[in-house]
Structure 1
Amino acid sequence: MTKKTKPEANGLASLEQAIGHTFAQRDLLELALTHRSLAFEAGNNGDPSADNEQLEFLGDAVVGLMVADALLQHFPACAEGTLTRLRAMLVSRKHLGEVGLRLGLGEYLRLGRGEEQSGGRKKPVLLANATEALIAALYRDGGVDAAREFVEREIMAPRMEELHAAVVAGEAFGSAAGDFKTALQELLQSKPDTTARAQYVVLEDRGHAHAERFYVELRVEVQDGPITTHGEGATKKAAQQRAAEAAYTLLKQQAGRAE
């Protein structure tokens, strides 16, 4: 279908199967795939509702909300700055373009002749825009649940392992030290036998005001028995991170032996 400007009905059925949603309002799906170049050639250049740019505008807001909500559920221990960076990874034009490419949206785009001849079906920016417009169409046709299911399956799921790794490695917040408190919390939440969250207790602080050292004890109750680790640092947060790193490493080692 690389030389067609308008997808056929059976072609759209294939796309609906790929995205897991059958549209009650098929015109919404067609509109989400309509580039302004086709609207211009059809003489509708003055009508902002004749192409997918309004849906793209709505889709940008919808995907931002869905991703933010899902990140709070997956990473409840992350600070706002970390969540913002994780969200940016997921809603970037590059990633959305990759989603569109994976779904084969380029095959279904409705393009004008000029855009068709310039290779518009493979342009990452057009694929990213169409992905956002598609999300808006899903939202309007199937409501919040349809949009959320698509976002979590197609946008988040393929990168969840990468996001978890970024949190542990500190890449999400520009720190080489890593956020082991968040990583530990995520690990505990994935363990059904965990009976208590991590509890950090400051044992003491030593030194002068300009050179204090903090000592923290971390206690975690799991089915195999309590785990206690300690951390030391120039700040309470640093000491907690050290203790969390020790607990995280210990739990991962135990999990490896159990497998």
Structure 2
Amino acid sequence: MIRGGPLRWRQEYVDYDNVLAEFEERLGYRFKDQSYLKTALIHKSYANEQLRDPAACNERQEFLGDAVLDLVMADYLFRSYAQLPEGELSRIRSELVSAKALAKVARQLNLGPCLQLGRGERRSGGQDKDNLLADALEAVFGAVFLDAGWDVARAVLGRLFEATAVRVAQRKSLDYKTRFQELAQARFGVAPVYELVAAEGPDHQREYTVVVSCDGKTLGHGRGGSKKAAQQQAACEALVALNTENDEP
């Protein structure tokens, strides 16, 4: 970890601190100790070539950030998709934390131009390589955790990944809302109605409760870390309820 003292940043940046400030704006988090962020952006090629210090690279923070990301995603999926078995949760998490998925998030944050790369890595287009972007993003997550702790890290990562998590779940045939709407239209001739009945907890750890009804009859309740996730769980419970009715003699 590099703390204090001058750092030799890339010469093409007239004001690297301004570059970092703009990145923090996109990330949605302002570091109290910016040395954590600076270290997260140092690739080993730059540490070896420019700093002459292999230990100054981002690999240790990447190691930490990888663990933080895994736990945040596991926690989010566990709370948001209570109806899913372990195998489904693991498959969704694996897709969310893959190098391809992380590189996509890194590009959305325009992380590439912020990276400190050695000359050879820079010439070969390192700032747009999936593996370098994914590793650096994990190092940034480690930096957030070191700077602010678990609650803030979970909030930052949650904002970045929630929409993707919902899309992945739907793509894996877990879109219970669509399935329930089709069944409700066929059974009752009306669309289901979702009502938010509670929103509890602090902003960074909000939990929502939703009920779904058809033709005035409540059929399901759902809880989740987002309104969409709570609606999905409510729809799942409603599907189970209707199927149980069909099974009764």
Range of TM-score over shorter length: 0.5 to 0.7
Pairwise CA RMSD of aligned residues?
3.3
Instruction: Give the conservation status (yes or no) of the 8 Å contact 2:96–2:164.
Output: no
How many Å apart are 1:222 and its aligned residue? 3.9
CA distance in structure 2 between the partners assigned to 1:225 and 1:8 by the alignment: 59
2:192 is equivalent to residue 192 of structure 1: no
Which structure's CA Rg is the greater one? 1
Of 18, 26, 30, the residue aligned with 1:10 is 18
CA shift in 2, pair 1:6/1:68, >3 Å = farther
Q: Does 1:168 align with 2:174?
A: yes
Q: Deviations over 1:160-188 (max 9, x none)?
A: 1332342427xxxxxxxxxx69x76xxxx
Which segments of 5 or more consecutive residues in structure 1 lack a partner in the other structure?
170-179, 185-189, 195-219, 228-240, 249-259
TM-score by length of 2: 0.67
Decide which of 77, 98, 101 is 1:92's aligned counterpart.
98
1:1-259 alignment to 2 at 5 Å? 4=12, 8-42=16-50, 44-45=52-53, 47-48=54-55, 50-168=56-174, 191-192=194-195, 222=213, 224-225=216-217, 244=239, 247=242
Residue identity opposite 1:88 in structure 2: S
Q: Secondary structure at the match of 1:42?
A: helix
Can you give the 5+ residue segments of structure 2 that lack an aligned partner in the other structure?
A: 1-9, 181-192, 198-210, 220-235, 244-249
1:90 CA displacement: 0.6
CA contact (8 A) 1:5 1:110 kept: no
Deviations 1:213-237 (A, max 9, x none): xxxxxxx99471266xxxxxxxxxx
Distance 1:129 1:56 in 2: 6
Number of residues paired by the alignment? 192
Identity of counterpart residues, as a percentage?
Answer: 36
Report the TM-score when normalising by structure 1.
Answer: 0.65
